[in-house]
Structure 1
């Protein structure tokens, strides 16, 4: 699944900024905690020096002696705190102990042959400090959310011109000479991209124009000799002196001329890009009858029945000339490969089915039947084609959005399915 450029830019800025904010918040927190410990240690050190000095100067100020602890216990707070007996084993210095779920600092110093215990309770100070730290972390979270919002807004500004270029590219039609004006864009990279696209678009337009001109010229130039061949064949058919193999050859020439004319029409239609929008309701049964007409003699010669099992009122939305070419090629392919039986045409659930009783297509050949110049090996077919008919059929189906499928089983015939939406009836 592809993500938009805007999403990627916003995600990058968001992740980067949030990572920096979190790193900064954690650094500030660690620094503040370290400074807090240094401040507490300095306060205790100064207070202990002052207390010891005052006790040494006036021993009467000494606090009560605690036999359990073998020392004097004084408190920096007004509320006395009972120390556990375990502090007796602690060395001289400042220690942190937990009493009644409170963190208490105890400073231990020598007082003659006894010990002096000085108790400090910084819980209120530490509570306020934690509230400040929590507020800092909460502010970091708010800034992180704000960063995401700002990142999406900033990314929209950054990719705005890219999105505008994409919209302009979509509006261009292949073959048009209009180019995108690079003056609308500020970024140097986008201007270079626009110029490169304009150059590519112009080369593609020139190539398509040459291809259309060549295909159109070839198609039109072929019609003149094909018309002459067709007319000559019709005149020669009226000559009763032509019999036997000569008449068969004459009919073969006429069929080849008809195939060439259909091929020329298909090439000309493929060369016309605008033809994809020329659609109309078409009577399906009538189209099939018209497409079958040129094959009447071949059907009679082979003894094939053609069954059109389609409602005469059924109409599909299609380009009439394109559908005629597709049907002609599919029928020609079916007649060429079917020596006995029938051709069956039916329509169901938006699909036209053309079924024959020919030898079928090998499973390995089915994926290639639409390839240009490909011909499935069939010794039973006396008049093979050139392998371009089904390729043209596929191109036309792609042009008009018709799905086409082929199902076949050797010895049981072939079924071609063509997706043609019917006109809804009110």
Structure 2
């Protein structure tokens, strides 16, 4: 996606562009008008000098053509050639012409009266030098106006954007529990007030949503924990019955494992529903907790002919709630065991990471980037597609990194990095 500049910069650029365009158009208009006036003045000067010379010649036929620093005149009588008349001028028709002689620009006036040709040459060097100097002044004016428009745009953008910036900062500081009043509901004034009122409405809805979430979490905590405690208590009582045979004890053990999973899942979901900055009372002793999760899936691994092994290199204390770590380990181990038959699952734990490596069927390359999506199920999956998405949510919540490596037909390695 193309990166967009801030609104302040865009307004400043717009003002600078507007100032540059308007000043250029204004300067162009002045230049065209000034050049036209200059041409008219030269033509009027030539006309006046031409009329004066013809009048003097009417009074005195021996009168000489004008000859000054910027004006030269010639008289061409029938059948003769004027002395010193440049060759390019001899064939010019009557009227006004532009001519360059020896690198000098001239404005030429040619008239014919009674067979006589009157020619006047006006040297435009000074006039063009003045026009170039005037053009420099115009360019400086354009640059000054552009700079002034830019500075004005920066200042004006700051004044216009300031209420929006203040509103954005107020929204960022807003507490969902106690949303502030940002706008004026009774008298919504300008667009900023209307935007603030819209934010007020949104924050009020957000506060109501947060309150509903907390109420649901509290109700779920009570309504789910109580029956789970009853189930686990009943399992303990049944397990103490000496008359149970091995098959019934195995069924009771499965009920106990399912109740433990439900309890951990409930705790994890309730923790995820809380605020992110909720403090952790005691750190999680990861080693024993990982061992309990591994032991829970050992019967499933044995039933699939898979060897499940845990290696803990050192004591690991994590600053996270135990329920979150347990739900991550349980899901990773369960996925590894469920996709491995007559193979091996190795779980290793140290202070840097938890690694769950299996020798199972692996994950197809086209599915590897989607396994953490909610409700995504692989071709051999029997679950609802929530386990790994829940793992991803927990990792995002506590700042862990989860990666999967699955070479074709070589199993899968899940690496849970604890970061710093």
Task: State which of 391, 396, 399 in structure 2 corresponds to 1:398.
Answer: 396
- Contact 1:304–1:339 (8 Å) recurs in 2: no
- The CA deviation at 1:18 is 1.3
The whole-number CA distance in structure 2 between the counterparts of 1:295 and 1:262 is 15
SS of residue paired to 2:14: helix
- The CA deviation at 1:161 is 0.9
The whole-number CA distance in structure 2 between the counterparts of 1:124 and 1:131 is 11
Aligned length: 408
1:117 equivalent in alignment to 2:119: yes
Q: 1:22 to 1:403 in 2, by over 3 A?
A: same
Task: State which of 97, 103, 120 in structure 1 corresponds to 2:105.
Answer: 103
| Greater Cα offset, 337-346 or 53-62 | 337-346
Task: State which of 300, 303, 308 in structure 2 corresponds to 1:305.
Answer: 308
- Contact 1:279–1:320 (8 Å) recurs in 2: no
Per the alignment, residue 156 of structure 1 pairs with: 158
Per the alignment, residue 79 of structure 1 pairs with: none
Per the alignment, residue 247 of structure 2 pairs with: 245
The whole-number CA distance in structure 1 between the counterparts of 2:163 and 2:106 is 63
1:211 equivalent in alignment to 2:213: yes
The whole-number CA distance in structure 1 between the counterparts of 2:286 and 2:267 is 20
Per the alignment, residue 415 of structure 1 pairs with: 413
The whole-number CA distance in structure 2 between the counterparts of 1:96 and 1:411 is 89
Matches within 5 A, 1:2-151: 2-63=4-65, 70=80, 72=82, 83-151=85-153
- Contact 1:69–1:85 (8 Å) recurs in 2: no
SS of residue paired to 1:207: helix
Per the alignment, residue 78 of structure 1 pairs with: none
- Contact 1:69–1:88 (8 Å) recurs in 2: no
- Contact 1:216–1:271 (8 Å) recurs in 2: no
- The CA deviation at 1:398 is 2.2
Q: Deviations over 1:130-156 (max 9, x none)?
A: 211221122212221222222122111
Q: Deviations over 1:353-380 (max 9, x none)?
A: 21123333344544443344444343xx
- Contact 2:188–2:197 (8 Å) recurs in 1: no
Unaligned stretches of 5+ residues in structure 1: 74-81
Task: State which of 183, 197, 221 in structure 1 corresponds to 2:199.
Answer: 197
- Contact 1:9–1:155 (8 Å) recurs in 2: yes
The whole-number CA distance in structure 1 between the counterparts of 2:79 and 2:164 is 78
- The CA deviation at 1:225 is 1.1
Alignment TM-score, normalising by the size of structure 2: 0.85
The whole-number CA distance in structure 1 between the counterparts of 2:294 and 2:323 is 15
CA RMSD, 1 decimal: 3.2
